[in-house]
Structure 1
Amino acid sequence: MSERKPIRSWLTDMDGVLIHEGVPVPGADAFIKKLRESERPFLVLTNNSIYTPRDLHARLTRMGLEVPVDSIWTSALATAKFLDTQHPGGSAYVIGEAGLTTALHDAGYILTDVDPDFVILGETRTYSFESLTKAIRLINEGARFIATNPDNTGPSPQGALPATGSVAALITKATGKEPYFIGKPNPLMMRTGLNAIGAHSETSAMIGDRMDTDILAGLEAGMETFLVLTGLTTTADIDRFPFRPTNVVDSIADIVDLV
């Protein structure tokens, strides 16, 4: 294999890398601080579409992590960017929270349940039978089906929660239509993020705690990858996958000196 070029830009997952169950991972503050001091382009990525970048900025600030709003990239923003390039000025029926609806409004989309161009499924803690039924009927009537991310479950202090991927499977079962998933591991989310900060995959790295989303997305986008063991993946899990991360480290603290 040819030797990779030096890393000039960093993309990192949030949950499981920088924070875990609402608490900063040791070393996360030093990593962010060094990135900002070095003025290297970076993004904090999340497949969660519930929150706006401003919401996440405030949440991280309260934890002592100073991440600028412009350095936060969500699956909601990636979804809005995709739709703006594919079908600008369109309409959508949306199941989701402010992170998704705000991103779509900012992209010039009309949110409606009357003959929409798309049904867009995002993350929410209040999925309702009524909204799912409406989505199913609209898809059956011709609306195209988009989902922000394929995660089947999400974390909570009480245990796993059903997430977008699980709800999308329900809609698919009822309609026979598979959604197009925008978030990780779709490399589209990584490439639009790289474009947003003017970075190139050959000189960028992706840090994540999940093999099936973070590492796979980084790999398919052509980036160097770092798997941290502070989230969902253990060293025993790695060999279950037919691909490997470029690097495996205990935590984000082990990457600080590489910035």
Structure 2
Amino acid sequence: MLDRKPVESWLTDMDGVLVHEGQPVPGAPEFVKRLRTSGKPFLVLTNNSIYTPRDLQARLSRMGLDVPEEAIWSSALATAQFLGEQRPGGTAYVIGEAGLTTALHAVGYVLTDFAPDYVVLGETRTYSFEAITKAIRLINDGARFICTNPDVTGPSVEGALPAAGSVAAMISKATGIEPYFVGKPNPMMMRSALNTINAHSESTAMIGDRMDTDILCGLEAGLETILVLSGISTRAETERYPYRPSRIVDSVADLIDEI
């Protein structure tokens, strides 16, 4: 990592890096502003497939973060792009919300529960037992199983919530079929982001707050990796992993002068 090229493009996770528990991380608005004025390509990444980029732009704007809609890349967008390339004009039975269904419609997919090419599982606020049962039966009948992200829990004010990875495990247990996960830590998520902004791995940095998704994904995609301690990770916890980030900083506030 000592002879890496200077950073010309930036990828950053959202929750835990720019926002935390519904509030902007101190220094994050200034960090985003510096990114925008620098003219360097950047994307804000999220494994959450619930929201469309427009939804997320509005959410970030309310917290003082001026992120353009086109600078947001979600696991829903990466999943739709992947399916559009794998099986153009295909069909899918979807468990998810507007972020996922809108992305799939945009690539020409038809959403149906009649002999679909894929069952696509994403995040939703209300997982339905009826929908999960239908997904299991469709997979048993031959539909291919895709999941937007492997996160087993998600954050809420009240505590942890079951997320797509947990529901995927339930479906896998019932069918014997493991899904293909598109989102982090699959390097495909990172490579699709790089392609979106025409960036190169040797001159791009990934900022994240999770060792098991953000840092692992960036590492496997060949990026410089920067762990921030403004989310869920502590410096001590990083020692438990067999891989290390390129460096550790307290928050994105420490990176403003590098842009």
Match in the other structure for 2:214: 214
Mapped partners of 1:160, 1:116: distance in 2: 32
Mapped partners of 1:128, 1:198: distance in 2: 39
Map residues 34-45 of structure 1 onto 2, 5 A cutoff: 34-45=34-45
Map residues 14-163 of structure 1 onto 2, 5 A cutoff: 14-163=14-163
Match in the other structure for 1:235: 235
Q: Report Cα offsets for 1:3-56 as digits up to 9, x if no partner.
A: 100000000000000000110000101110001001100000000000000000
> What displacement does 1:2 show?
5.2
Q: Specify the SS of the correspondent of 1:151.
A: coil
> What displacement does 1:236 show?
1.2
Mapped partners of 1:237, 1:109: distance in 2: 42
- Identity value in percent: 73
Map residues 154-193 of structure 1 onto 2, 5 A cutoff: 154-193=154-193
Mapped partners of 2:140, 2:257: distance in 1: 53
Q: Report Cα offsets for 1:96-118 as digits up to 9, x if no partner.
A: 00000000000000000000000
Mapped partners of 2:112, 2:126: distance in 1: 19
Mapped partners of 2:250, 2:112: distance in 1: 46
Unpaired runs of 5+ residues, structure 2, are: none
Unpaired runs of 5+ residues, structure 1, are: none
Q: Specify the SS of the correspondent of 1:235.
A: coil
Q: Within the alignment, does 1:198 sit opposite 2:209 as a pair?
A: no
Q: Specify the SS of the correspondent of 1:145.
A: strand
Mapped partners of 1:167, 1:237: distance in 2: 27
TM score, norm. by length of structure 1: 0.99
Q: Report Cα offsets for 1:187-232 as digits up to 9, x if no partner.
A: 1011011100010000000000000000000000000000000111
Q: Specify the SS of the correspondent of 2:64.
A: coil
Match in the other structure for 1:3: 3
Q: Specify the SS of the correspondent of 2:99.
A: helix
> What displacement does 1:125 show?
1.0
Q: Report Cα offsets for 1:120-156 as digits up to 9, x if no partner.
A: 0000011011000000000000000000000000000
The structure 1 segments of at least 4 consecutive aligned residues displaced by more than 6 Å after TM superposition are: none
